[in-house]
Structure 1
Amino acid sequence: MLTQRALFFRLAQLGALFMMAVLGLFDLANGMSSTGDIVVLQILTAIATAAVWLPRHRQGSKRLPKVALLLSVFSLLLTVAIAGQGTIYGGSYGLAEAVGLLGVLFVLSRRGDPQWAIGAVLATGMALGFLPLRSGFGTEMVIVGLAQGLAGTAVIGLGIYLRTLESTRLRAMDSVRAEQRAEFARDLHDFIAHHVTGIVVQAQGARFIAEQDPQRVLLALEQIEAAGAETMASMRRMVGVLRDPNARPDAPLTPLAGVDELSPLLEQFTTSGGPLARLHLDGSTEGVPVEVSTSAYRVVMEALTNIRRHAQGARVADVWVRRTPDWLLVRVANDGLPPKAGVPRDAPGYGLVGLQERVRAVGGRITAGPGIDGGWVVDAALPLDQEVTR
């Protein structure tokens, strides 16, 4: 299913293709500025421009500027060949090809690899500016060529602007993800330090009571074994997070509470002027791994924040936490109006990006979207045992 942005992009492409088709018919109806095989080459060149800008190229593509460079050089040679005939037939110089070259310039500046794109943009701009000379060297054609050059400059500026916007957005998302990784690793670090301290204390106690009560020593050893196993499991998950080269050691230190602290969170949300928040627990929260517990708390906290900011007319916010043998399931739903697409927000919406990174770090998954009965629903599934995700 196409998003609104993708749909707009496809409609723009169809509009540009339609314009090229209309201008191509105009070129043929009014006669081209040459005859014979060269006219066929002009038509094929116009079609080739569409073949370059129409596909969806990946960012930083090296193939795109190379193909565009070959196309623009061929267009320039074609212009030289037509102008060098010495006989101008007075027809159209190729309006469809001019629009196609504008599309190539936009895609080049938007997606092309910077190392190759500069030369390709210069060559394509020259091909566009010299194109009217196929119909003669008069003042009118020179002015048209300058106008097309200015149009090409504007298109290049638009492509670079959109490229900069996307680059800024991606950097912000990477920063949010890195922050979440670092925060998650610090939560695990605190948990591991707590358990290691407990292991040391239990070991010291067991040494003192070894001669007096051997049974209590066995119990202490069992507790030490359980704490050590849980600590090793969390240690492996923490190392996996810290191995990411984008993890930032300077992320803010904000230890999070767990599922047992959801009741105070919802009460504070309601008393501070938000909708009525209701908590529904299904199953015990005892023994939930700390990384799962803190991640669940974070999901609820971020969802409530989004309800306060974006859910117009919301009266109730329901939070369900259900424990199954293998998963901790979290759902946050409200009865307000969902956020409208295209409506600007006061701040960039990177909260969901951070949640996705946080949930992914523990092997879980999260979705968000309109509810069947209206409102907005956030669903998260967090594995209690890492084996269930393998």
Structure 2
Amino acid sequence: MSTPDLRQWWVRLAQAAGLVAIGLLALFDLRFSRPQSMADLVILLVRVGLAVATVPLWLPVHRLGSRRLPLAALALASTSLAVTAAILVLPGGRYVLGGGSWGLAESAGLIGVVFVVARWGAPRLAPAAAVAAGLAVATLPLRSGAESLLVIFGLLQVLAAAGAAAVGLYLRVMAAGRDRAIALVRAEQRAEFARDLHDFIAHHVTGIVVQAQGARFVAEQDPQRVITALEQIERAGAETMASMRRMVGILRNPDAPPDAPLAPLAGVTELAPLLSGFNGTANAPARLHVDGDLFGLPVEVSTSAYRVVMEGLTNTRQHAPDARTVDVAVRRTPDWLLIRVADDGASPRTAPARGHGFGLIGLTERVRALGGTITAGPGVAGGWVLDAAFPLRVAR
């Protein structure tokens, strides 16, 4: 049984127990009450009716911030107070109780009303409704008299109502904190998806630009290559637009699940198609070198490693048009996943300044969040090298 189902089962069990308790207390009230007149009988039936009337208020599961709930609780509490006043004012009214219960079922029902009002009621109306219901509970023992013992019972019922209100407020605060945590997770996840989408679009847009430039130069000499380039441009543009539409759809819907697919969250096992697409749009062929089994990696490590390779290939295409080869090396050890993207371009490059886009800066944040390291700079033999290392044991 899942956690939500188990929680719902416990709620239903508590509601059933409450119904049984209200029913038994109502029978107790009827058993020990001896009305002597028609007025006494009417008051007795009204008291039992008030106990029954509390059930529709605390039994259902209400919507948070409900306005009907505190309004109904105010009406019920006012009616209970009016009945208490009538018993005190009418001649012989207290004899209705005949030394028995003052209305235990009604007391229990009103305490339940205090709880649900504090838990689910609208913030502006809930305090007044809870206070009114608590006052009604406190004055119930006065229906039997003003002796010190009855006053003590009234105080005990006030404490019970205060405890019910405290529990309701506690659950309300806990639920609000859980909702805020969920909202924060969704916001962070959307920011993460935005960075992924930036990398994905940047990779395809640079490829589109390179293909368009190449098609312009070979248009007269080899028209067939122009057609191939246009097909690749169309495919990359369609994938980019589809990812953007998914992103916009998710951002417009605040209730969307945080794990909704926005962009292709590929992993290191999908590096071969990535390099194949790069080779179709770049002058320098990319070669993949794999050492170790890449299956079974933590998903956050696998997708982040894929983003590192994508960023490295994108930077090579943008900043090293004279590169002749690009080597992508992926090595898995028992404790680490090592990624290297190295080209032999001779064009001078510098690391991007902090705050300039989400490319290498956002990727650095992502790698460090997993406990890894990432460096980018000139290689010993020339060119440019992007290195990343992901710890596998920490990730798990």
TM-score normalized by structure 2? Answer: 0.62
Matched, 1:136 2:145: yes
The structural deviation recorded for 1:218 is 2.2
Q: Name 2:58's counterpart in structure 1.
A: 53
Q: Secondary structure at the match of 2:125?
A: helix
The one of 106, 120, 141 aligned to 2:115: 106
User: Structure 1 vs Structure 2: percent identity of aligned residues?
Assistant: 57
Q: Name 1:28's counterpart in structure 2.
A: 30
The one of 89, 98, 114 aligned to 1:84: 89
Q: Is the 8 A contact 1:32 1:93 kept in 2?
A: no
Structure (1 or 2) with the larger CA radius of gyration: 2
Tell me the distance in 2 between the aligned counterparts of 1:213 and 1:94.
Answer: 97
Q: Name 1:10's counterpart in structure 2.
A: 12
Consecutive unaligned residues in structure 1, runs of 5 or more = 248-254, 270-289, 291-390
The one of 192, 214, 217 aligned to 1:208: 217
The structural deviation recorded for 1:122 is 0.8
Code of the aligned partner of 1:28: L
Tell me the distance in 1 between the aligned counterparts of 2:228 and 2:62.
Answer: 63
Q: Name 1:159's counterpart in structure 2.
A: 168
Q: Name 2:380's counterpart in structure 1.
A: none
Measured against aligned partners, the alpha-carbon deviations of 1:310-360 in whole angstroms (never above 9, x if no partner) come to xxxxxxxxxxxxxxxxxxxxxxxxxxxxxxxxxxxxxxxxxxxxxxxxxxx
User: Do the aligned partners of residues 246 and 20 (structure 1) sit closer, same or farther apart at CA in structure 2, a change above 3 Å counting?
Assistant: closer
The structural deviation recorded for 1:211 is 2.4
Code of the aligned partner of 2:224: Q
Matched, 1:193 2:205: no
Q: Name 1:173's counterpart in structure 2.
A: 182
Q: Is the 8 A contact 2:269 2:294 kept in 1?
A: no
Q: Name 2:44's counterpart in structure 1.
A: 39
Q: Is the 8 A contact 1:182 1:242 kept in 2?
A: no
Q: Secondary structure at the match of 1:175?
A: helix
Measured against aligned partners, the alpha-carbon deviations of 1:279-308 in whole angstroms (never above 9, x if no partner) come to xxxxxxxxxxx9xxxxxxxxxxxxxxxxxx
Tell me the distance in 2 between the aligned counterparts of 1:53 and 1:173.
Answer: 27
The structural deviation recorded for 1:134 is 0.6
Counterpart mapping for 1:322-333 below 5 A: none
Tell me the distance in 1 between the aligned counterparts of 2:212 and 2:234.
Answer: 11
Measured against aligned partners, the alpha-carbon deviations of 1:343-379 in whole angstroms (never above 9, x if no partner) come to xxxxxxxxxxxxxxxxxxxxxxxxxxxxxxxxxxxxx
TM-score normalized by structure 1? Answer: 0.62
Q: Secondary structure at the match of 1:3?
A: helix
Code of the aligned partner of 2:202: A
Code of the aligned partner of 2:29: D
Tell me the distance in 1 between the aligned counterparts of 2:207 and 2:200.
Answer: 11
Code of the aligned partner of 1:113: A
Tell me the distance in 1 between the aligned counterparts of 2:12 and 2:222.
Answer: 78
Measured against aligned partners, the alpha-carbon deviations of 1:42-81 in whole angstroms (never above 9, x if no partner) come to 1101110112111121221111111111000000000000
Tell me the distance in 2 between the aligned counterparts of 1:261 and 1:213.
Answer: 32
Code of the aligned partner of 1:30: F
Measured against aligned partners, the alpha-carbon deviations of 1:5-37 in whole angstroms (never above 9, x if no partner) come to 111111111112212222212111111688121
Superposed CA RMSD:
2.5
Q: Is the 8 A contact 1:32 1:94 kept in 2?
A: no
Q: Secondary structure at the match of 1:114?
A: coil
The structural deviation recorded for 1:267 is 5.4
Q: Is the 8 A contact 2:142 2:151 kept in 1?
A: yes
Tell me the distance in 1 between the aligned counterparts of 2:254 and 2:128.
Answer: 34
Tell me the distance in 2 between the aligned counterparts of 1:174 and 1:237.
Answer: 20
Tell me the distance in 2 between the aligned counterparts of 1:13 and 1:228.
Answer: 57
The structural deviation recorded for 1:220 is 1.7
Tell me the distance in 1 between the aligned counterparts of 2:250 and 2:195.
Answer: 10
The one of 233, 239, 249 aligned to 1:230: 239
Q: Name 1:68's counterpart in structure 2.
A: 73
The structural deviation recorded for 1:266 is 4.0
Code of the aligned partner of 1:157: A
Tell me the distance in 2 between the aligned counterparts of 1:102 and 1:226.
Answer: 65
Code of the aligned partner of 1:29: R
The structural deviation recorded for 1:246 is 8.3
User: Do the aligned partners of residues 179 and 132 (structure 1) sit closer, same or farther apart at CA in structure 2, a change above 3 Å counting?
Assistant: same
Measured against aligned partners, the alpha-carbon deviations of 1:218-265 in whole angstroms (never above 9, x if no partner) come to 222222222222222222222223334589xxxxxxx96526169855
Q: Is the 8 A contact 2:268 2:294 kept in 1?
A: no
Tell me the distance in 2 between the aligned counterparts of 1:178 and 1:265.
Answer: 30
Tell me the distance in 1 between the aligned counterparts of 2:55 and 2:135.
Answer: 18
